[in-house]
Amino acid sequence: GENVEQHPSTLSVQEGDSAVIKCTYSDSASNYFPWYKQELGKGPQLIIDIRSNVGEKKDQRIAVTLNKTAKHFSLHITETQPEDSAVYFCAADLYQTGANNLFFGTGTRLTVIP
Amino acid sequence: SQTIHQWPATLVQPVGSPLSLECTVEGTSNPNLYWYRQAAGRGLQLLFYSVGIGQISSEVPQNLSASRPQDRQFILSSKKLLLSDSGFYLCAWIPGGNTIYFGEGSWLTVV
């Protein structure tokens, strides 16, 4: 099955700086890579996703890059703000037996210091 | 509109007591439904998923079970809770395509 690794587990940045979170996956058949933001006590919320036919996608201050050859993808947050503080999860999708089955990384706790 | 709702939001249960968490979705037919567990400070662990009424696949052996009595209803149960069952339980669904959406979660504390 798929194995997703995520680094770092914790990340602190000064407000206004950029933050980068990296993930690797093991199964080259995975073709969908979402990122989720989870605030304390709430369910994860999708913030951006990318499919395997695209190398980069950007949405305002958030961007995701995908390197299929190396099997890694990254989340980039620019001009960080205190409200960006949360736990971020990456995931890879391996479609099997009729059920999309996301494999999640272990999460990165991002703290933006005002 | 497409919505997912789970309840209760929090509960405290004694060891050995039963558990029932309920999840309902609206806005589409025959969605894929999921139960995840998140231990404190940990990642997301897939417990069960369902592709249709009465169809349940288990990812992790445990004393929990899941049922899907209706197309838009997914229930997580236990006959006897253990201390190790404490955690944050998340219902999730895929209304279409690949994107999975999560409910707001249920905090379970077993004492």
**pLDDT bucket at A99, cuts 50 / 70 / 90:** low
| Nearest alpha carbon to residue B86 among B45, B39, B41 | B39
Amino acid making up residue A93: D
pLDDT (average), residues B6-26: 96
CA distance B7 to chain A (A): 13
With 70 as the cut, is the pLDDT of residue A67 above it? Answer: yes
Task: Convert the pLDDT of each residue in B72-107 to its tens digit.
Answer: 999 999 999 999 999 999 999 988 777 889 999 999
- In the prediction, which pLDDT does A36 show? 96
| Nearest alpha carbon to residue A104 among A20, A22, A3 | A3
Say yes or no for a CB contact (<8 Å) between A93 and B98: yes
CA distance B41 to chain A (A): 9
B45 CB contacts (<8 Å, ≥6 apart)? B36, B37, B38, B39, B59, B60
Half-sphere exposure of A83 (CA within 13 A, CB side): 1
Task: Convert the pLDDT of each residue in B39-81 to its tens digit.
Answer: 776 788 889 999 899 999 887 767 899 999 999 999 999 999 9
Q: Which residues are bridge partners to B93 per DSSP?
A: B33, B101
Say yes or no for a CB contact (<8 Å) between B107 and A41: yes
Euclidean distance between CA atoms B78 and B76, whole angstroms: 7
Say yes or no for a CB contact (<8 Å) between A89 and B43: yes
CA distance A33 to chain B (A): 9
Q: Which residue of A has its CA nearest to B88?
A: A41
With 90 as the cut, is the pLDDT of residue B30 above it? Answer: no
pLDDT (average), residues A13-34: 95
Contact B105, B6 (CB under 8 A): yes
| Strand order across the beta sheet in which B3-7 lies | B3-7, B19-26, B73-78, B64-70
> Per the omega criterion (within 30 degrees of 0), is the bond before B8 cis?
yes
With 60 as the cut, is the pLDDT of residue A97 above it? Answer: no
- Residue that is written with structure tokens 């997301």 in the block: B44
**pLDDT bucket at A100, cuts 50 / 70 / 90:** low
Contact B55, B69 (CB under 8 A): no
**Which residues in chain A have their CB less than 8 angstroms from residue B102's CB?**
36, 43-45
Euclidean distance between CA atoms B91 and B24, whole angstroms: 9
DSSP for A49-104, written as a single string: EEETT-SEEEETTEEEEEETTTTEEEEEE-S--GGG-EEEEEEEE--BTTB--EEE
Residue A53 at interface with chain B, using a CB cutoff of 8 Å: no
- In the prediction, which pLDDT does A103 show? 87
